[in-house]
């Protein structure tokens, strides 16, 4: 999957390219707006990551050019200006998401994946599964190794999210936003406690742990060979 990054700050661009490439994406990175716009208009990319302040043409102009050319490539904006108007402006012009610097890389990665997933219609699954863990969406039941596990509604929602995005590192802020609809940076350790309680039910009685903490970044649900 090919992604285009237009970012004029060399350090940011470099780390974005490295991080996203290591996450399995094919990355093209340019530093000026004019080249960025030419490439964006080619329509070869699955996603555009645009900085707002750019030499040549700014992010808004590139977005406008892309939209008026009839391309519906998802666009993620990076802005250093923490102004609501900026965000509103971007979304009005047809941006799909907006991240304010400083942001965590795990947050960016999670949002990139969300945007890419949005396009492709997810198959209507009735069960989600990882190793011997099985979640039945219709009967709202969870089993591990055939053993029934009782979860509260929120624990169920949390596990469903982890299962749907298994293998992805999910930052705490994203979990708070998706599961509890808390769309702000909260410094509470509610998520930690919630994960700990879920672990108690899912992982504690089994030798093969599935929920892992990625220190400083978030949580990931995956099978790791012991």
Partner 1 sequence: MQRLSLSSRLALLFAACTAVVSLIAGVLFSRASEAHFIELDQQLLEGKLIGLRRALHDIRPSDSEVRLNEEMSRQADLTLRISGSDGKRWHDSSANLPDGLPRKSGLSTINSAGTDYRVLNAPLFPDRADSPQLTLLLDITHHQHFLQRMQRLIWLTVGLSALATALLGAWAARSGLRPLRRISAVAKGVSAQSLNARLPEENMPPEVAQMARHFNAMLGRLDDSFQRLSAFSADIAHELRTPLSNLLTHTQVTLTRPRSIEEYREALHSNLEELQWMAQLVNDMLYLAKADHGLLTPKRQPLELAEEVDVLLEFFAPLAEDAGVKLSREGDARIEGDRNMLRRALSNLLDNALRFTSVDGEIRVRIVDQPTGLSLTIENSGEGISEDLLPRLFDRFYRADPARHEGSNEHAGLGLAITQSIVRAHGGQIRCESEKGWTRFVIELPRGD
Q: Which parts of this chain interact with partner 1 (CB under 8 A)? A: 82-84, 100, 102-104, 154, 176, 180-190, 192-194, 197, 215-217
Contacts of 149 (CB under 8 A, 6+ apart): 142, 143, 201, 202
Q: Which is nearer to partner 1, 38 or 186 (CB)?
A: 186
Q: What's the closest the beta carbon of residue 26 comes to partner 1, in angstroms?
A: 26
Structure tokens, 117: 């997933």
Q: What's the closest the beta carbon of residue 197 comes to partner 1, in angstroms?
A: 6
Q: Which is nearer to partner 1, 63 or 160 (CB)?
A: 160
Are the CB atoms for 45 and 74 separated by under 8 Å?
no
Q: What's the closest the beta carbon of residue 201 comes to partner 1, in angstroms?
A: 12
| 111: nearest Cα among 95, 126, 98, 123 | 98
Q: What's the closest the beta carbon of residue 105 comes to partner 1, in angstroms?
A: 10
Q: Which is nearer to partner 1, 12 or 61 (CB)?
A: 12
Q: Which is nearer to partner 1, 129 or 186 (CB)?
A: 186
Note if the bond before 102 is cis, omega within 30 degrees: yes
Which residues make beta-bridge pairs with 214? Answer: 218
By the 10 Å C-beta count (0-12 exposed, 13-18 middle, 19+ buried), 170 is classed as: buried
| 143: nearest Cα among 68, 197, 75, 206 | 206
| 226: nearest Cα among 216, 215, 212 | 212
Q: What's the closest the beta carbon of residue 106 comes to partner 1, in angstroms?
A: 10
Contacts of 152 (CB under 8 A, 6+ apart): none
Q: Which is nearer to partner 1, 120 or 215 (CB)?
A: 215
Mapped onto helix, strand or coil, the DSSP state of residue 88 is helix
Q: What's the closest the beta carbon of residue 216 comes to partner 1, in angstroms?
A: 4
Q: What's the closest the beta carbon of residue 213 comes to partner 1, in angstroms?
A: 11
Q: Which is nearer to partner 1, 84 or 121 (CB)?
A: 84
Q: Which is nearer to partner 1, 61 or 177 (CB)?
A: 177
Q: How far apart are the first and last CA of the chain?
A: 31
């Amino acid at each position: 999957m090919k992604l285009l990054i237009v970012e004029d700050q060399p350090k940011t661009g470099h780390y974005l390219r490295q991080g996203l490439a290591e996450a399995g994406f094919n990355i093209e990175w340019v530093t000026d707006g004019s080249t960025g716009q030419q490439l964006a208009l080619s329509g070869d990319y699955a996603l555009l990551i645009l900085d707002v302040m750019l030499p040549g043409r700014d992010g808004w102009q590139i977005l406008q050019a892309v939209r008026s050319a009839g391309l519906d490539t998802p666009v993620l904006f990076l802005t250093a200006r923490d102004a609501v108007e900026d965000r509103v402006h971007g979304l009005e012009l047809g941006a799909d998401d907006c991240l304010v610097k400083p942001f965590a890389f795990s947050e960016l990665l999670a949002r990139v994946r969300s945007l890419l997933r949005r396009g492709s219609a997810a198959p209507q699954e009735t069960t989600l599964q990882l190793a011997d863990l099985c979640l039945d969406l219709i009967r709202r039941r969870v089993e591990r190794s055939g053993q029934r596990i009782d979860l509260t509604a929120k624990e169920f929602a949390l596990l469903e999210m982890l299962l749907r995005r298994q293998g992805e590192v999910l930052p705490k802020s994203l979990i708070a936003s998706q599961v509890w609809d808390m769309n702000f940076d909260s410094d509470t350790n509610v998520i930690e406690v919630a994960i700990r309680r879920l672990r108690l039910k899912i992982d504690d009685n089994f030798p093969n742990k599935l929920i892992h903490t990625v220190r400083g970044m978030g949580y990931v649900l995956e099978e790791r060979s012991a």
